[in-house]
Amino acid sequence: MSFYHVYQTIRDDDFYPMHDQTSEKDMMTILHKNILTEDDFLRLLSPMAEMYLEQAAQKAHALSLQYFGKTVLLYTPMYLANYCVNRCVYCSFNTQNVIERRQLTYNEIEEEAKAIASTGLKHILILTGECRKTTPVAYIVNAVKRLKKYFDSVGMEIYPLTEEEYKTVINAGVDSLTVYQEVYDETIYDNVHLSGPKKDYKYRLDAPERACRQKIRSVNIGPLLGLNDWRKEIFFTGMHAKYLQKKYPDVDISISLPRIKPHAGTYEARYDVNDQDLVQALMALKLFLPRVGITISTREAPDFRDNLIPLGVVKMSAGVSTEVGGHALEHGSDSQFEISDPRNVNMIKHAILKKGYQPVFKDWMPF
């Protein structure tokens, strides 16, 4: 059994009749319930629910306060390499794009680490493209060992690994894993991943579960919004998170909802996802899965990010560069995508305090 089996049972559901039939009374009932069903979740994603966004937000705010308090954890990504063998149409690192390719040496990793650690951050997320030749698991393991000297928490957003490999990196000190499915619709998935190992939909879909079985601490999943109708993608994402939460109660599950950003390729988002849509998506997820943490990246603009804090965001990236070596090295590389919030760690820290929330730099330690 894997989430793929669940996906197969819901993939062909026609959500629209359910959306059309959602009444104001349904909405009031849902907003007053403690535990939501999958149907309730679907209704929260309906156009009718747009009218109840404020009420949903009030509830999401209250739930978030209860479970997470007035705190926001800060972290930053560190790009180790941008070599990639895949052809994902939406990404600059796509093997066919002509960009400057780079990979950090272990010493460069330490230099970057020192620069990041000097800002006070204790949580880091390492990223690579998918290239087992230049960035094999052994390279990741060595990088993690070096980074552990500077950071309490090292997360990983790299290509999907085998279960055995997850075990190795977890033993080396990786405590969280981010794997975006990008798009849950299998046909669209096939169309936007033109070639490379990433074409294997199921192998990627099952990656979080392989890590959960190896006792990873936390798992972050999500769709890349813009590749499909967001309402459907959010529904699948919520179902995926619920599945993982239920099957692996000791793993912290969180969700990110990145939107496609300008990059070095020519692909543009097929489906528009505006700010209101994103808020509706976040509110629906929060009400359906109150304990799931929401992460918001610098793909979003400063004001928008700040305004999302009271709505249940518990993790934010800060002081971000999407270039390999972008924190300390003179010659970085081309970036993966354009960021929208260029503020440094200190500025973000103050923005969070201004919202009446506590920026948390350290929320984990290896034990």
Partner 1 sequence: MNQLVIGGKTLQSRLLIGTGKFPDKKIVPEVVEASGTQVVTMALRRVDLDSKEDNLLDYIPKHCTLLPNTSGARNADEAVRIARLARTMGCGNWVKIEVISDNKYLLPDNMETVRATEILAKEGFVVLPYMNPDLMSAKRLVDAGAATVMPLGAPIGTNRGIRTKELIQIIIEEIDIPVVVDAGIGRPSEAAEAMEMGADAVLVNTAIATANSPVHMGKAFHLAVQAGRLAYEAQLGRQSTYGNASSPLTGFLYEGVNS
Residues in touch with partner 1 (CB under 8 A): 65-71, 120, 122, 152, 245-246, 249-253, 291, 353, 356-358, 360-365, 367
DSSP class of residue 222 equals E
- Residues 101-130 within binding reach of ligand SF4 (CB under 6 A): 129-130
- Taking the complex as a whole, how short is the minimal distance between the CB of residue 43 and ligand SF4, in angstroms? 33
* Closest distance to ligand SF4 from the beta carbon of 87 (Å): 7
Q: Give the shortest CB-42-to-ligand SF4 separation in angstroms.
A: 29
> Judged by CB under 6 A, does residue 84 bind ligand SF4?
yes
Q: Which of ligand SF4, partner 1, none has residue 93 at its interface (CB below 5 to 8 Å by kind)?
A: ligand SF4
Q: Does 259 bind ligand SF4 (CB under 6 A)?
A: no
Which CB, 64 or 298, lies closer to ligand SF4?
298
For the bound state, the minimum distance from the C-beta of residue 284 to ligand SF4, rounded and expressed in Å, comes to: 26
In 3D space, the residue among 280, 234, 263 whose CA is nearest the CA of residue 340 turns out to be 263
The residue assigned the tokens 């994902």 is 88
Closest CA relative to residue 298, chosen from 345, 252, 334, 330: 345
Which listed residue (22, 64, 94, 322) binds ligand SF4 by CB under 6 A? 94
Positions in 183-242 near ligand SF4 (CB under 6 A)? 198
Taking the C-alpha atoms of residue 242 and residue 264, their distance in angstroms, rounded to an integer, is 35
Is 323 near ligand SF4 (CB under 6 A)? no
Kindly tell me which of 326 and 359 has the beta carbon lying closer to partner 1: 359
Hey, how many other C-beta atoms are within 10 angstroms of the C-beta on 144? 23
Q: Is 176 in the site for ligand SF4 (CB under 6 A)?
A: no
| 66 interface partner picked from partner 1, ligand SF4, none, CB below 5 to 8 A per type | partner 1
Residue 367: contacted member of ligand SF4, partner 1, none (CB under 5 to 8 Å, by partner type): partner 1
- Measured distance CA(103)–CA(98) in Å, rounded: 16
CB 352 within 8 A of CB 72: yes
Q: How far is the CB of 116 from partner 1 (least distance, A)?
A: 13
- Binding to ligand SF4 (CB under 6 A) within 42-71 occurs at none
Task: Give the interface size with ligand SF4 as a residue count (CB under 6 A).
Answer: 9
* Binding partner selected for residue 86 from partner 1, ligand SF4, none, CB under the kind-specific 5 to 8 Å limit: ligand SF4
Cα–Cα distance for residue pair 95/101, rounded to 1 Å:
10
189 Cα distance to chain centroid:
17
Residues 130-159 that bind ligand SF4 (CB under 6 A): 130
Cα–Cα distance for residue pair 88/227, rounded to 1 Å: 11
Q: How far is the CB of 324 from ligand SF4 (least distance, A)?
A: 11
Q: Which is nearer to ligand SF4, 198 or 259 (by Cβ)?
A: 198
DSSP sequence for 3-43 = HHHHHHHHTT--HHHHHHH--HHHHHHHHT-SS--HHHHHH
Tell me the C-alpha distance between 102 and 302, whole Å: 29
Nearest Cα to Cα of residue 216 among 207, 225, 224: 207
The whole-angstrom distance between residue 290's C-alpha and the CA centroid of its chain comes to 17
Interface with ligand SF4 (CB under 6 A), residue from 56, 73, 78, 91: 91
From CA 359, how far away is CA 120, in angstroms rounded? 11
Comparing CB distances to ligand SF4, the nearer of 179 and 244 is 179
Give the distance from CA 35 to its chain's centroid.
25
Give the 3-state DSSP-derived string for 312-347, with helices as H, strands as E and coil as C.
CEEEEECCCCCCECCCCCCCCCCCCCCCCCCCCHHH
> Phi and psi at residue 72, in whole multiples of 5°?
-135, 125
* Smaller CB separation from partner 1, 65 or 301: 65
Which residue, 17, 27, 70, 18, is CA-closest to 51? 27
Distance of closest approach, residue 113 Cβ to partner 1, in angstroms? 14
> Smallest distance, Å, CB 95 to ligand SF4?
7
Q: How far apart are CA 43 and CA 27, in angstroms?
A: 8
Binding site for ligand SF4 (CB under 6 A): 84, 86, 88, 91, 93-94, 129-130, 198
